[in-house]
A = this chain, B = another copy of it.
Amino acid sequence: MQFQPILEDIVATLQPQLGAAGRVADYIPALARVPAAQFGIALRTCDGQEAAAGDCRVPFSIQSISKLFALTMGMRVMGDALWQRIGREPSGNPFNSLVQLEAEQGTPRNPFINAGAIAVTDRLVSHGDAKAEMLTLLSGLCNEPVHFDEEVAASEAATGFRNIALGNFMKSFGKIDNDVATVLDVYFHHCALAMNCVQLARATGYLCRDGLHPYNGHHLLTERQTRRVNALMLTCGTYDAAGEFAFLIGLPCKSGVGGGIVAVVPDHLSLCVWSPALDATGNSLLGMKALELFTAKTGLSVF
């Protein structure tokens, strides 16, 4: 399939809607000042073909998309032991997050809600320098250097009272081993990674290749682990709209409040869309539309 014209077509279709609806995340200044009227898309196939269009090289804050890479690092260093303190079920809705954390004794529902990613990060902190390792992993996957946006990381730390609450709440159940402030420093840095669509399409390439690193020929994850990451993305990857994503788009996705969404078509390609204005569920409004257009035009779906 020729993907470049498809991506360009999607860009053209969405052009009139740029900035017309949705809301840019505004809880920290560095995110609030991102212009809404931007849209980028990029993909990379299993056999290394790349296509990209629109603002595909504009860096943005990947935010919760980093939970995908933190999970990957956690599965690499800990294997199945990672799941001793983290569940694998959808969380229902935002309202439930703390209820569930309380009812389930500090064990978060899955690694893609904040509490779950903080728990994964705690494990990473116990095993090494989780900030440096994240940069190494992503720079390798992208084949070019990747950086933290230190302004975003500092802002997250200065305003992250709810995440401090989550971390301390889990620690009160004995489910966080390290100092909460240390864990959150790493977590906030991971969220503050600045990347662009082309980089993220590359960086998620192992997820459509049964775990195989796109450049170095080694398995980042086993085939079985890779399927499981894809399954978690589909059931839990897009906040409280996972059912809606599965219903409308039908691909494993992981979104972030910076407006990025990565998607995987197993054995075919990995893909990243980005547009900063979000819908009420915290997912990129045009990003979702772009993914619907892409699956409609290509017929690709896991179902």
Determine whether A91 belongs to the interface, using a CB cutoff of 8 Å to chain B.
Answer: yes
With contact pairs A164-B164, A231-B250 given, residues A89 and B242 touching in the complex (Cβ less than 8 Å): yes
Are the CB atoms of A168 and B162 closer together than 8 Å?
yes
Main secondary structure of the interface of A (DSSP, over half): helix
CA distance in complex: A167, B236 (Å): 29
Are the CB atoms of A102 and B93 closer together than 8 Å?
no
Which chain A residues (76-117) contact chain B, with CB distance < 8 Å? 87-93, 95-96, 98-100, 102-103, 109-110
Beta-carbon nearest neighbor of A207 in chain B: B303
CA distance in complex: A87, B9 (Å): 32
Which chain A residues (239-287) contact chain B, with CB distance < 8 Å? 240-244, 246-248, 250, 252, 266
Given B88, B162, B166, B252, which contacts A243 in the complex, CB threshold below 8 Å?
B88
With contact pairs A162-B172, A168-B162, A230-B303 given, residues A89 and B235 touching in the complex (Cβ less than 8 Å): no
Which chain A residues (27-62) contact chain B, with CB distance < 8 Å? none
Smallest beta-carbon distance A191→chain B, Å: 16
21 A-B residue pairs with CB within 8 Å: A92-B96, A92-B109, A93-B100, A95-B103, A98-B169, A99-B99, A161-B169, A161-B172, A162-B172, A165-B168, A226-B303, A227-B303, A228-B247, A228-B250, A230-B303, A231-B247, A231-B250, A234-B234, A252-B303, A302-B302, A302-B303
- Given A93-B100, A169-B169, 9 more contacts at CB 8 Å? A88-B244, A88-B247, A95-B102, A161-B171, A165-B165, A228-B248, A231-B246, A231-B247, A266-B303
A-B pairs with lowest CB-CB distance, top 3: A92-B92, A89-B243, A161-B172
Beta-carbon nearest neighbor of A89 in chain B: B243
The residues of B that contact A100 with a CB separation of less than 8 Å are 92-93
Measuring CB to CB, which residues of chain A are less than 8 angstroms from any residue of chain B?
A: 87-93, 95-96, 98-100, 102-103, 109-110, 161-162, 164-169, 171-172, 180, 226-228, 230-232, 234-236, 240-244, 246-248, 250, 252, 266, 301-303
The residues of B that contact A302 with a CB separation of less than 8 Å are 266, 302-303
Are the CB atoms of B235 and A90 closer together than 8 Å?
yes
Are the CB atoms of B172 and A242 closer together than 8 Å?
no
Smallest beta-carbon distance A204→chain B, Å: 13
Are the CB atoms of B243 and A232 closer together than 8 Å?
yes
The residues of B that contact A236 with a CB separation of less than 8 Å are 243
CA distance in complex: A102, B100 (Å): 12
The residues of B that contact A89 with a CB separation of less than 8 Å are 90, 92-93, 240-244
Are the CB atoms of A90 and B227 closer together than 8 Å?
no
The residues of B that contact A88 with a CB separation of less than 8 Å are 243-244, 247
Are the CB atoms of A227 and B301 closer together than 8 Å?
yes
Are the CB atoms of A102 and B92 closer together than 8 Å?
no
CA distance in complex: A109, B229 (Å): 25
